[in-house]
Structure 1
């Protein structure tokens, strides 16, 4: 089921599952270094790698949605529920095509997704997001969507061979 959110300047954004026919649109942002620099994956250089990413990481994902503008994917939202003792929480991830940055689209899509997650997964009590410490744009998206910055995790992950610090953000169902 598609969810719709009206935007004044750009029409409506929708959220929907990914399809193989989305490949050309997905390539526009997964192959962009400006986008990949802020994500855990590196920019895809080949169509074959992008097909694999689309099939294995987006279509096969238990909860991944395309952020669409005029029906065409311009980004992604993913949610991964924790397991065992962490089953009451989950982690949010997202990416948006560079040409759509700074227009409020990611913030509004994130608000839609948070609402949907808390409805679809009534056992979820919190949603987390981890953001590389220098990615102030994404920090702003989270804060505008109601997430709270909870702390700094030092040397949390590796990006292009370098360990990076991240901020952890959270939002509670209550």
Structure 2
């Protein structure tokens, strides 16, 4: 199992070797080729995704087929259509690999099992969602107030 996820968790929690083994036992690895899809709009989703290698873009498609890129994620990031995963509804977003990408999926059911067995993960995922909410808010403000050239320049920094 890739150690990228355990290093990510170690930023917030100290796990015993048994707990580390339990965490990794809950994850489902997948390889996504370049320009392949981690998730496509309309697909059912009940999992969160951790990127161990690669880069993914998230976009929404309007009624005319126009894509609007919402964000990018790299290795070491938790990612996905969280709103759909939590609600158990079909994905509203598409996640596409921009290069060969390896991911680990954690189903919502297994997330519940993880938090029940290792309660510290409640805090871990609260912080994760809290930080995601803050990032989402910053991105929304950037879309409203900065021209595309400025957003791109900030992205490249």
TM-score, normalised relative to structure 2: 0.30
Structure with the larger RCO, 1 or 2 (CA within 8 Å, 6+ apart): 2
TM-score, normalised relative to structure 1: 0.27
Which one has a larger percent helix, Structure 1 or Structure 2? 2
Which one has a larger percent strand, Structure 1 or Structure 2? 1
